[in-house]
Structure 1
Amino acid sequence: MSDLQRAFAKAKLSSYPAAMPPPASFNEADKEEETDTFDTESAELHHDDDSSSASSASSASSTGTIIPSQNQKLFARPQGSPNKRTMDQIPWTTYFERELFLESTTDTSTITYHVYLTSPVGSAPLFIMHHGAGSSGLSFAALTAEIRKRLPSAGILSLDARGHGSTKITPEQDVLDLSLETLNSDLLSVIDKTKTQMGWKTMPPLVLIGHSLGGAVVTDVAKSGKLGNAVLGYAVLDVVEGSAIDALQSMQTYLSTRPAGFPSLESGIEWHIRSRTIRNSMSARTSVPALLRHDPDVRSSRSWTWRTDLAATQPFWEGWFIGLSKKFLEARGGKLLLLAGTDRLDKELTIGQMQGKYALQVFPEAGHFIHEDLPEKTAMIIVDFYKRNDRSALVLPPKVSDMLRAGKKV
């Protein structure tokens, strides 16, 4: 027993009233034999659902065992459903200025594209977002807020692809065409119709951003050159040709283990968070509601079902990604690749990265939905990418003819 401990024990003993018997003498050997009798089953560690960490840690230290009295219930489990309010839906109006319904008619059908839009101000850029298979335009909602914190005048256009979100086709098709060629045409049509409906005289500077399937679509559009010099650059989120095609082999297995439906919208949001499909609860509460629809005719306990039948899109899977790496490296404009792990790089992209043909950023702490898991970090990289490719910021040296005309020596 150290001198400091002895001094503490003496001071403690002298503080007790005479009427109260002093506690048993302090024995250091007894202390070393003490063990915590804390009932771990009756305690609950709370952690923030917004954390991207897989687990939380806590530590405690004491000089003795604390045994609460029965009437105090210091470590009793809270009654009711904890954090129920955190599963409430966050409306799209929190992030976007307006929604547009853009109609396009062919000989056989009419498609009404649903788009979320915040218009650019002045000469600011327009970030065009294309989501992945089974997702929706609200997948980019949290990222939108973070981009506009850094570029308040920037515009955001995020669409629902056909067969997703609130985009509708009439009459409904038995076999949905989700080929890369069709999705390419859809994106170009949405951009053109948005320009017309908003009355823009010229197309603002464009930055194309696509996640997973969306990455294949924006790359295909950039490679086509149909948007001309308006495209400053394009960013692809967590998809490369090699790993994407390899992952298709296990896609059906994943779909078979995913719940077919949910008893409520809140339980659907909660599943995405607990399964760590989306690791940011704020983003999940915004994006997940657009993935589900309520069917009152379903008499089971799972009346909230998926809007998009991903299994039915299997005939198009390989067509989405074959040739993606080559197109990504060859298309004109700045190039940015964001990945959740370097293991996703295939040979062609590895060589291209070593040659400095594109910018690469890896977020190992994120899942597949990088932009939802880490919207702030993703926004920082994308805004920096835009600034590096912003032609209006370039300061060109004066022309020789102009210098001579001004009487300056060359």
Structure 2
Amino acid sequence: MSDFQRSFARAHLSRLPPEPPAIPDEQQDATREDSLDIRPSSPNDSLSSASSASSTGTIVPSPSRNLFERPKGAALKSRSAPLPWEDFFSQELFLTQKKPSETTVHHAYLNPPTSSGPLVVTHHGAGSSGLSFASFTAEFLKLIPDAGVLSLDARGHGQTTTTDSTGVALSVQDLSLTTLAADVAFVVNAVKTEMKWTALPDIVLIGHSLGGAVVTEVAHERLLGNALLAYGVLDVVEGSAMDALRSMDTYLSTRPKSFPSLASGIDWHLKSRTIRNTISARVSVPPLLQESKAHDQWLWRTDLASTKPFWEGWFIGLSKKFLESRGGKLLLLAGTDRLDKELMIGQMQGKYQLQVFPEAGHFIQEDQPAKTAQVVADFYKRNDRSGLVLPPKVDDLIKQGKLKPASHK
């Protein structure tokens, strides 16, 4: 190559951004987990950059590792090893709600806020659990350490159980939108009692998919009163949700009925790209499964097909309620094609904040926990009223002699 050619190449190549080498998914995940510590020293400490690295594609190999070396069996195994909830939350709560016909023991994970911090209450989607927000929680508390996060298991999901008056588990659950919204209000107020708070902190509700419809219902019915500061909905709008329901039966028929182990369940979620973040899958998938009596397979804990009678009721009227309810509003989507007409008009009128993550799948808070946490943290700061100073009342100024009353002729 001549001097002229070398000079020409340098001039043009210098304008291009550097490209990282392409690495197969399994090797990429193993590399990250070998070189990064994924566990925080305490629930409110930073979780390590592993969770965000697995979704952003930035890789820093350890000095002792060959970047292109095929991962060993132990590294591949660690990719699907379950992670404990204690790595993300400081405590779990079991809150009993008794009614004449049934008793529900609500299960929730909690990182309490400080005396001045807000409380983010998260609600997962159908078939998931409170640990769907585990990685998000670790990232969010890095940004707002004074905040708390309460992540609940909806009835029929996770470790929340409902029994009849004789103590037998209910085979048919009431998963109507009204009931699920009332459950959120009960859990929040029960946590207030359990933690001996004198009053509820400022609350930000964040719901994914079905959870988005639930938190919108809570806001619309004002079930948390003036404590509700703002609410956010992750990857669900009325129009696209109703369209998706038509293919739900087909989806359920194609996914595995069982798994030989928890690790294989985690691996399926990653290989199918249902969840695209290894760290999040390792903590969020285990509570979705339960071991069968035969002890040789793991079955889905929630029978999604049995929830079909409630599907339409979850989403009908969602867009209207989202736009009308009081409080700050956030809509976070994986693609702008999900917006329906009503939300498009509302967005153009500035009625809510819209954020799009085209690189994420449906489980935005799991695929992109760091970015989701940053958006929610900024959303909270924009709606924070703790620093708001109101002008003094006229009557008070008159009493203090700082203002003379108006004379009437």
- What's the TM-score once normalised by structure 2's chain length? 0.81
Residue of structure 2 equivalent to 1:152: 145
Among candidates 250, 253, 262, match of residue 250 of structure 2: 253
- Does structure 1 retain, via aligned residues, the 8 Å contact 2:27–2:71? no
Residue 115 of structure 1 aligns to which amino acid in structure 2? A
Give runs of aligned pairs for residues 20-35 of structure 1, distance below 5 A.
Answer: none
Distance in 1, Cα, partners of 2:386 & 2:258: 49
Distance in 2, Cα, partners of 1:284 & 1:176: 26
Greater Cα offset, 78-87 or 308-317:
78-87
Among candidates 121, 124, 145, match of residue 128 of structure 1: 121
Residue of structure 2 equivalent to 1:114: 107
- Note if 1:390 corresponds to 2:393: no
- Per-residue deviation at 1:331? 0.5
Among candidates 320, 324, 327, match of residue 330 of structure 1: 324
SS at match of 1:202: coil
- Does structure 1 retain, via aligned residues, the 8 Å contact 2:219–2:228? yes
Among candidates 68, 81, 85, match of residue 78 of structure 2: 85
- Does structure 2 retain, via aligned residues, the 8 Å contact 1:44–1:77? no
- Per-residue deviation at 1:200? 1.0
SS at match of 2:79: helix
Distance in 1, Cα, partners of 2:148 & 2:256: 36
* 1:10-52 alpha-carbon deviations (Å, 9 max, x no partner): xxxxxxxxxxxxxxxxxxxxxxxxxxxxxxxxx9993237643
Residue of structure 2 equivalent to 1:139: 132
SS at match of 2:285: helix
Residue of structure 2 equivalent to 1:48: 29
Q: 1:407 to 1:53 in 2, by over 3 A?
A: closer
Residue of structure 1 equivalent to 2:36: none
Q: Percent identity?
A: 63
- What's the TM-score once normalised by structure 1's chain length? 0.80
Distance in 2, Cα, partners of 1:227 & 1:289: 31
Q: 1:126 to 1:77 in 2, by over 3 A?
A: closer
* 1:224-259 alpha-carbon deviations (Å, 9 max, x no partner): 012111100100000000000000000111111111
- Note if 1:351 corresponds to 2:348: no
Residue of structure 2 equivalent to 1:365: 359
Q: 1:407 to 1:375 in 2, by over 3 A?
A: same
Task: Say which one has the larger Rg.
Answer: 1
- Does structure 2 retain, via aligned residues, the 8 Å contact 1:342–1:362? yes
Structure 1 residues without counterparts, runs of 5 or longer: 5-42, 57-74
Superposition RMSD in Å: 2.7
Residue of structure 1 equivalent to 2:303: 309
Residue of structure 2 equivalent to 1:208: 205
- Per-residue deviation at 1:393? 1.6
Q: 1:209 to 1:3 in 2, by over 3 A?
A: closer
Count residues in correspondence. Answer: 353
Residue of structure 2 equivalent to 1:235: 232
Structure 2 residues without counterparts, runs of 5 or longer: 5-23, 31-52, 60-67
Among candidates 256, 262, 265, match of residue 265 of structure 1: 262
SS at match of 1:268: helix
Residue 334 of structure 1 aligns to which amino acid in structure 2? G
SS at match of 2:284: helix
Distance in 2, Cα, partners of 1:219 & 1:92: 27
